[in-house]
Structure 1
Amino acid sequence: MTFKWLPNALTIARCVFAGFVLVGFWQAGSLDLTLTGLSPEELSRRATLQQLWYQFAFLAFLAGAITDFLDGWLARKLEAHSRFGVWLDPIADKLLIAAALFGLALEFRSWLIYVPAAMIIARDVFMTWFRATPRGRSAIVPSNLAKWKTGFEFAAIIGLMLPLATLRPSLDGDVATGSDVLAIVAIVTVVGLLWVAAALSWWTAGQYMKAAGSGSPD
């Protein structure tokens, strides 16, 4: 029995997990803890449900990230390469990243998240289109810098989602934190990673277009 269908199945699953990430953020956001007139019991129930939905989104993102590693590893192990997989794999990656960034932007409602998230999503949409053009198809090998960019994206997203999933919301709608100093350092670090990822995303896009223009890969 052959399992050469597994890599493509995992890639498709990553697209599904991206949808789950959005569902988790949407459901968590619908549980408004700032409504007036709610009883303490109702507030506690909403806070619990909200955290559960954040955990759902976080686990969906982690599962999608795991499939990103597994599908490539299995494709090499099983020698299962297909045009469909080559086409869908980068799209699935971008869908997962975009879903998480969109949910985080809606959650934190800050230009510190809006700007880098928009930069990354806009770059990914542009590159998806560009790779479909004859010129873009001339350079299909990702650079090491692009892999670092992806690593920064995953690290920043996990860093932003983890407190939502692990720290119980307070009844005023904010996320309870421990030490204020440590919390500030962690936030600055994680947001900084997101900005670095955004800068690298456009830097690598420029490299890709230059390579495509010269007819050589990255």
Structure 2
Amino acid sequence: MNFKWLPNALTIARCVFAGLLLLGFWQALSLDPAEAGLSADDSAVRTTLQQLWYQFAFLAFLSGALTDFLDGWLARQLDAHSRFGVWLDPIADKLLIAAALICLSIQFRSWLIYIPAAMIIARDVFITWFRATPKGSAVIVPSNMAKWKTGFEMAAIIGMMLPLAIFAPDPQRLQGEEVSLAVLAIVFAVVGLLWVAAILSWQTAWQYMKAALRPKG
């Protein structure tokens, strides 16, 4: 049987998982356990439902990230390369990352996330446009730095989404309590990974631009 369609199907699935991630966060954020006028039982039900939607979003992201590995691996194993796949694959990657960053920015509402998220999304939009130009299409080849950037992005996003999926949300849990140094260290490490990814993203963009503008001959 001919399975050369599988890599492109997985790439399309990654776009679907990006949409499911947005759906999960939208549903979770609409369920506020601290809403005024709710009974204790209603609040508990909302807390449980909210956590389930966070878990749904987290699994959607992990599934999308898995397709990113599988479609490339299958394309090599099946020798299935197409212009459509080459065009859609980087767009699907960027859609998944952008969806996660937008959701996390809305969730945490901090400039420590707003700024690197905006840097990464802006860079990805720019590179998507640049790739469509004649000069860009000739020079944009994934580099080791770009792979490191993707790794830092994935680690940061998973690090921020995992607590939402594991722990029942409780906005008042830390009010009036001291946050341990270990928790603070983990938070700063995860946010730091996002900043590193943002910086690397624009370094790779600058590398592509220099290669495109370099005089030939």
Aligned equivalents of 2:179, 2:61: Cα separation in 1: 27
Change (3 A) 1:174 1:126: farther
- Native 8 Å contact 2:75 2:81 kept in 1: yes
3-state SS of 2:18 partner: helix
**Paired position in structure 1 for 2:58:** 58
**Paired position in structure 1 for 2:189:** 189
- Native 8 Å contact 1:25 1:53 kept in 2: yes
**Residue identity in the other structure for 1:4:** K
Aligned equivalents of 1:141, 1:118: Cα separation in 2: 23
- Native 8 Å contact 2:152 2:194 kept in 1: yes
**Paired position in structure 1 for 2:212:** 212
**Paired position in structure 1 for 2:141:** 141
**Paired position in structure 2 for 1:36:** 36
Aligned equivalents of 1:85, 1:77: Cα separation in 2: 15
Q: How does 1:156-171 map to 2 (within 5 A)?
A: 156-170=156-170
Give the length in aligned residue pairs.
215
Aligned equivalents of 2:42, 2:199: Cα separation in 1: 43
Aligned equivalents of 1:105, 1:173: Cα separation in 2: 21
Aligned equivalents of 2:161, 2:14: Cα separation in 1: 18
* 1:170 shift after superposition: 2.1
Question: What stretches of structure 1 move > 6 A for 4+ residues in a row?
Answer: none
- TM-score of the superposition, structure 2-length normalised? 0.95
RMSD: 1.8
Aligned equivalents of 1:172, 1:32: Cα separation in 2: 12
* 1:137 shift after superposition: 1.1
Change (3 A) 1:159 1:178: farther
- Native 8 Å contact 2:33 2:44 kept in 1: no
The superposition leaves residues 4-44 of structure 1 with CA deviations (integer Å, 9 ceiling, x where unpaired) of 00000000000000001100111110011221111000000
| Structure 2 residue ranges without an equivalent (≥5) | none
**Paired position in structure 1 for 2:48:** 48
- Native 8 Å contact 2:18 2:64 kept in 1: yes
Q: How does 1:95-174 map to 2 (within 5 A)?
A: 95-170=95-170, 172=172
Aligned equivalents of 1:161, 1:171: Cα separation in 2: 16
Change (3 A) 1:127 1:43: same
The superposition leaves residues 61-91 of structure 1 with CA deviations (integer Å, 9 ceiling, x where unpaired) of 0000000000000000000000000000000
Aligned equivalents of 2:53, 2:201: Cα separation in 1: 29
**Paired position in structure 1 for 2:23:** 23
Aligned equivalents of 1:196, 1:105: Cα separation in 2: 17
3-state SS of 1:23 partner: helix
Aligned equivalents of 1:173, 1:82: Cα separation in 2: 51
| Structure 1 residue ranges without an equivalent (≥5) | none
**Residue identity in the other structure for 1:135:** K
- TM-score of the superposition, structure 1-length normalised? 0.94
* 1:171 shift after superposition: 6.3
Change (3 A) 1:173 1:20: farther
**Residue identity in the other structure for 1:98:** A
